[in-house]
Chain A
Amino acid sequence: MDFSFTDEQQMLQDTTRRFVASRYSFDVRHAIAATAEGWSRDVWAQMADLGLLAINIREEDGGLDAGPVGTMLVAGALGEALSLEPFLASAVVATHVIGNLGSATQRAEWLPALGSGDLLAVLVTDEGDALHAAFEAREERGGWWLEGSLQGVYHAGVAGLLLVVARTGDGTGVFAVTPETPGVHVSSRGSVDGQRMADVVLDGVHIDVSARVGGEALGPVRDALDAGLAALCSDALGAMERILAATIAYTRSRVQFGTPIGSFQALQHRMAEMLIHMEQARSMSYLATAQCTNPDLPERREALCAAKALMGQAARYIGQQAVQLHGGMGMTDELDVSHAFKRLLAFELRYGTTDERLASYREHVVVA
């Protein structure tokens, strides 16, 4: 049992925290959110310079291979900053899929570009359910025909490479599709948390046989989504830390009845409860990180479901109480509280909702 981090992991966290503290103030984020793209390529390039986009690339592929713990620490700091950049989608999930599934040629072609930030890739699949394929792939005329549609794919609108998960005749495949390919329709829109997402429609898309990434993909897709879930949990923990700190600071400074409202016991106990929720959530974030690579799949799934469900409940409690304790100010767009609140809402609903995960956990531990 050891809850410490290695020097390298600590350095990665410090680097990310310093970066967002100096370059990603709330005002900067606000300005970035208002741009057409809704995220910053400049920030992305700086993240690449710091090596943050290569932490999920193995050393033999030229990456930093920081593993789940390193990813957890980076994702936590980015979550605390409410970052709008496609770190989770491209630098964690898509990078994972290519690293674990891609041929040597594909890895050599894409991984360096992903690490340098020149290429953005997004896995196009139902992130809540690895078994559900929204697309069909048929092998024909020396290539593949892809059909299907999926809504609300985070950051798919800016991806240079769409990694489409499709059901093949005999299993599951991942197919690399560029958005310019005829029949590919990607329409971007905003998500409630300020990030961008897109609806992806593939209408009779024909691609070369070489566009299939590796072979049977169900295992690597599931592994990548599990790594993504662990990172998302850490992202949410970062948002919880931010929103609780903001709430404590606000109730200490807001004076009513001649005294800071934070001196009232009713509010103090609410914040104590928020802290307990957050520390329980932190424990579960650690669990998700430790278990997301467990080769024992039922054990892994049980742990990840428990982590997501408990953290979803914590996110909802902490988010709602933070808005409540900020009073009218919590309702405004002006403060970071409402933005963190919305990021937590997205966390609760993404990657299998809190209820779905709890039901799934129940099937594992109670009914089984």
Chain B
Amino acid sequence: MDLDFSPDELAFRDEVRQFLATSLPAEIRDRMRRADESHVREDILAWQRLLHARGWGAPAWPADFGGTGWSKTQQYIFENECSLADAPMQLAFGVKMVAPVLMRYGSAEQQARFLPGIIEGKDWWCQGYSEPGSGSDLASLKMKAERDGDEYVLNGQKVWNTLGQFADWIFCLVRTDPTVKPQKGISFILVDMKSPGITVRPTRLLDGTFEVNEIWFDNVRVPAENLIGEENLGWTYAKFLLGHERTNIAGIGASKRGLQRLREVAARLARNGRNRLHDPVFATRVAQVEMELRALEITNLRVIFAEARNHAPGPEASMLKIRGTEILQRISELHVDLLGASALGLDADGDDEALQATRAYLNLRKLSIFGGSNEIQRNIIAHMILGL
């Protein structure tokens, strides 16, 4: 048993740090630091192109597909370092979500057509899963795809679509057979966002931002060649996909960065004569989060270690998701509590630090709701691990 990274892993970490220090453009880093999303599409795609140029465009893909072929531990180190350096997150919908499905279930033609645009930072992908009546109970989804010659005709509505207002492509779960058990009549299809009949309407969120959309499909015609795998097997592909967005599910790097920044703010306040870290009540709450994060980092490494030993990604990821999102949310609470009433201004010309803290606190409520709510994760633990 050895809880430390090996010399090779430490050397890799230093290599990643060096790359981030020299290659992450300052203006992108500064926008990420300020949580300024005014250039979100340009920033994320530009960073994707820089990573690709370094050969690191797809940390989790096998080398055969142009990926890095990195171990799970290396992927973990890479993502942590990116968070600590304020680099943009890679767009998960492309590299982490639709790409593994394409590699596993897509045809050679589909792989050749779509994978390069993902790794090269050309295409922006988004996800069409949830519907007004289908959230946690996703398999009840109703959006229809009816075969008509060489095309499918899509009719229905998707909701909670993240960043689809910038998207070139959307991967959708659609109902191709309404007569069978819900899970048996779902298909997985790729849709060009420029297709006639698609209407995107951003949803204003509690922090004033537009991060998610409603999307209407009105007789949208999609070439049948865009169907992944077989008709009505979409649920299988969706479940496979779920196992592939999880190496960074605990958000350890983001939490570490959040705690660093909390200290920076605390130090600035202390210089102005208000050292909240000397308040035992507040300091104990910080210590509590630090302690749980330290434990979660080890738990995360244990899960990675088990996965690397040929255990497929399993329900243990649900534990990482629950604790990881709770910790991120609690750090955001500490930020607003540290700033006190100065965190109340929500105008852009207010104190930048306070504005960010408040927006983050409001925005990060999403963490325990999306990606399978934390209640759904507890159901998964109860059923899959505890056997209840």
Q: Choose among A5, A272, A279 the residue that contacts B378 (Cβ–Cβ < 8 A).
A: A272
A41 at the interface (CB under 8 A from B): no
Please state if A290 and B382 are interface contacts (CB–CB under 8 Å): no
Residues A239-264 near B (CB distance < 8 A) = 248, 251-252, 262-263
- B369 CB to closest chain A CB (Å) equals 16
Please state if A362 and B283 are interface contacts (CB–CB under 8 Å): yes
**Chain A residues near B287 (CB, 8 Å)?**
358, 361-362, 365-366
Main secondary structure of the interface of B (DSSP, over half): helix
A286 at the interface (CB under 8 A from B): yes
B136 at the interface (CB under 8 A from A): no
- A312 CB to closest chain B CB (Å) equals 11
Residues B339-387 near A (CB distance < 8 A) = 375, 377-379, 381-383, 385-387
- A13 CB to closest chain B CB (Å) equals 12
A130 at the interface (CB under 8 A from B): no
- A245 CB to closest chain B CB (Å) equals 10
Please state if A290 and B3 are interface contacts (CB–CB under 8 Å): yes
Q: Choose among A4, A248, A251 the residue that contacts B1 (Cβ–Cβ < 8 A).
A: A4
B286 at the interface (CB under 8 A from A): yes
B19 at the interface (CB under 8 A from A): no
Residues A286-306 near B (CB distance < 8 A) = 286-287, 289-290, 306
B2 at the interface (CB under 8 A from A): yes
Main secondary structure of the interface of A (DSSP, over half): helix
User: Which chain B residue has the least Cβ–Cβ distance from A357?
Assistant: B291
Please state if A269 and B382 are interface contacts (CB–CB under 8 Å): yes
Which of B20-28, B181-189, B299-307 contacts the other chain?
Answer: B299-307
A22 at the interface (CB under 8 A from B): no
User: Which chain A residue has the least Cβ–Cβ distance from B326?
Assistant: A276
- A170 CB to closest chain B CB (Å) equals 35
**Bound-complex Cα distance A134 to B161 (A):** 65
**Bound-complex Cα distance A273 to B385 (A):** 12
**Chain B residues near A271 (CB, 8 Å)?**
382, 386, 388
B298 at the interface (CB under 8 A from A): yes
B64 at the interface (CB under 8 A from A): no
Q: A1-B73, A3-B1, A286-B3 are in contact. Are A366 and B388 (CB under 8 A)?
A: no
Please state if B386 and A286 are interface contacts (CB–CB under 8 Å): no
Please state if B291 and A310 are interface contacts (CB–CB under 8 Å): yes
B277 at the interface (CB under 8 A from A): yes
Q: Choose among B9, B280, B322, B387 the residue that contacts A1 (Cβ–Cβ < 8 A).
A: B9
Q: A272-B378, A275-B319, A287-B298 are in contact. Are A1 and B291 (CB under 8 A)?
A: no
**Bound-complex Cα distance A188 to B228 (A):** 73
**Chain A residues near B386 (CB, 8 Å)?**
248, 268, 271-272, 275
Taking residues whose C-beta sits less than 8 angstroms from the other chain, chain A's interface range is 35 or more
A218 at the interface (CB under 8 A from B): no
Residue count of chain B within 8 Å CB distance of chain A = 43
A359 at the interface (CB under 8 A from B): yes
Please state if A361 and B291 are interface contacts (CB–CB under 8 Å): yes
**Chain B residues near A248 (CB, 8 Å)?**
386-388
Interface centre among A287, A289, A366 (most CB of B within 10 A): A366
Annotate B268-298 by CB proximity to A: 1 below 8 A, 0 otherwise: 0000000001101001101110111011101
Please state if B319 and A276 are interface contacts (CB–CB under 8 Å): yes
Q: Choose among B6, B292, B305, B383 the residue that contacts A310 (Cβ–Cβ < 8 A).
A: B292
A309 at the interface (CB under 8 A from B): yes
Please state if A358 and B299 are interface contacts (CB–CB under 8 Å): no
- B291 CB to closest chain A CB (Å) equals 5
Q: A275-B386, A287-B3 are in contact. Are A365 and B290 (CB under 8 A)?
A: yes
Which residues in B have some Cβ–Cβ distance to A below 8 Å? 1-6, 9, 73, 277-278, 280, 283-284, 286-288, 290-292, 294-296, 298-299, 301-302, 305-306, 316, 319, 322-323, 375, 377-379, 381-383, 385-388
Shortest 7 CB-CB distances between A and B: which pairs? A283-B298, A268-B382, A362-B287, A272-B381, A272-B378, A280-B295, A269-B378
User: Can you list 23 A-B pairs, Cβ within 8 angstroms, ordered by A?
Assistant: A1-B3, A1-B4, A3-B1, A69-B1, A252-B387, A263-B388, A268-B382, A269-B378, A272-B377, A275-B381, A275-B385, A276-B323, A279-B319, A282-B302, A283-B296, A289-B1, A290-B2, A306-B291, A309-B291, A310-B295, A358-B291, A366-B283, A367-B278
